[in-house]
Amino acid sequence: MSTWFITGASRGIGRELVEHLLRRGHRVAATVRDPRRLDDLAERYGERLWRHALDVTDTAGVEQVLGKAFADLGRVDVVVSNAGSGVFGAAEDLSDQQVEESIATNLTASIQVARRAVPLLREQGGGVLVQMSSMGGQITFPGFAIYHATKWGVEGYFEALAAEIAPFGISTVLVEPGMVRTGFFDAAQRVPVSEPYRGGPADTPPPPVASMPGSRSGVANAIIEAALSDAPPLRLLLNSDAYELVTTAVRERLAAFEARKESAHAADHEA
């Protein structure tokens, strides 16, 4: 039996993870903005479900709730930073508040959860840090710029952090799903494109949720297997769309860099 700490467990991938883990006999510290969302699971699983209210943008709350979970449960093997949200629209059309809230929820909160979890994992002799990224942390679509800024930010932060904390026995897993059938796209704020952007690249709504390839249970299962494996991977690319789009984009990026090799080297010399 292992013990997990999960943010954003009210619905979607977070809730699916909680349900899978409890069904398999693991212990879960689930955090949600509204703990009543977990009443049914508390009734069914009793003490194996520890729950607490947490808005991940409340950094003091993150520190307090993580500390309490580790103290109450004695040990937490896997910390999953899952909470996230989307704001879609032409980059120019988003309000300052939408930009700041998106960065606060998806990037700053992920960084602060990790900064509070790492010392606790280190003190207990190791563990696994699972950070939800996205194929949107490796590729981009017009109309999603601020979401990409947060997920590419997550990728850079956690790749560097992974090397820092590996010597303490802490593994880091960046989860990069494709489009998964959750309420994410319905919950996302959509900013109508302004006149200059109408009919342009940013004016493309996401596909209907029913047509998205990713399943919640498939993603939850893959995260559990990876986190509990002997050698958790730094990047866990999931779903067929993510695999095709990311491998193609990375190949094209490499080819574009290589095509500019001479000019890259030439810039070493005084001009």
Ligand X SMILES: NC(=O)c1ccc[n+]([C@@H]2O[C@H](COP(=O)([O-])OP(=O)(O)OC[C@H]3O[C@@H](n4cnc5c(N)ncnc54)[C@H](OP(=O)(O)O)[C@@H]3O)[C@@H](O)[C@H]2O)c1
Neighbouring C-beta atoms of residue 246, cutoff 10 Å: 19
* Catalytic residue flag (residue 261): no
In the complex, what is the shortest distance from the CB of residue 136 to ligand X, in angstroms, rounded to a whole number?
6
* Catalytic residue flag (residue 151): yes
In the complex, what is the shortest distance from the CB of residue 119 to ligand X, in angstroms, rounded to a whole number?
22
Sites for ligand X among residues 85-114 (CB under 6 A)? 85, 105
In the complex, what is the shortest distance from the CB of residue 34 to ligand X, in angstroms, rounded to a whole number?
6
Instruction: Choose, by CB under 6 A, the member of 6, 84, 87, 139 that binds ligand X.
Output: 84
The rounded distance, in Å, linking the Cα atoms of 137 and 227 is 20
Of 110, 151, 171, 197, which one is the catalytic site residue?
151
Secondary structure class of 77 (helix, strand, coil): coil
What tokens appear for 16 in the block?
A: 């699916």
Instruction: Give the burial class of 201: count Cβ atoms within 10 A of its Cβ; 0-12 exposed, 13-18 middle, 19 or more buried.
Output: exposed
Is residue 192 a contact residue for ligand X (CB under 6 A)?
Answer: no
Is residue 170 a contact residue for ligand X (CB under 6 A)?
Answer: no
Instruction: Choose, by CB under 6 A, the member of 132, 139, 223, 226 that binds ligand X.
Output: 132
- What letter represents residue 206's amino acid? P
How many helices, marked H, and strands, marked E, lie in the chain? 10, 9
Question: Helix 12-23 to helix 216-227 angle, to the nearest 10 degrees?
Answer: 60
Q: Which is nearer to ligand X, 89 or 197 (CB)?
A: 89
Is residue 153 a contact residue for ligand X (CB under 6 A)?
Answer: no
* Catalytic residue flag (residue 68): no
Sites for ligand X among residues 33-72 (CB under 6 A)? 33, 55-57
Please identify the residue of the shown chain whose CB is closest to the bound ligand X. Answer: 12
Q: Which is nearer to ligand X, 102 or 197 (CB)?
A: 102
Is residue 83 a contact residue for ligand X (CB under 6 A)?
Answer: yes
Of 133, 134, 171, 197, which one is the catalytic site residue?
133
Beta strands in the chain (DSSP E): 3-6, 27-32, 49-53, 78-81, 87-88, 127-132, 170-177, 189-190, 235-238
The catalytic residue positions are 133, 147, 151
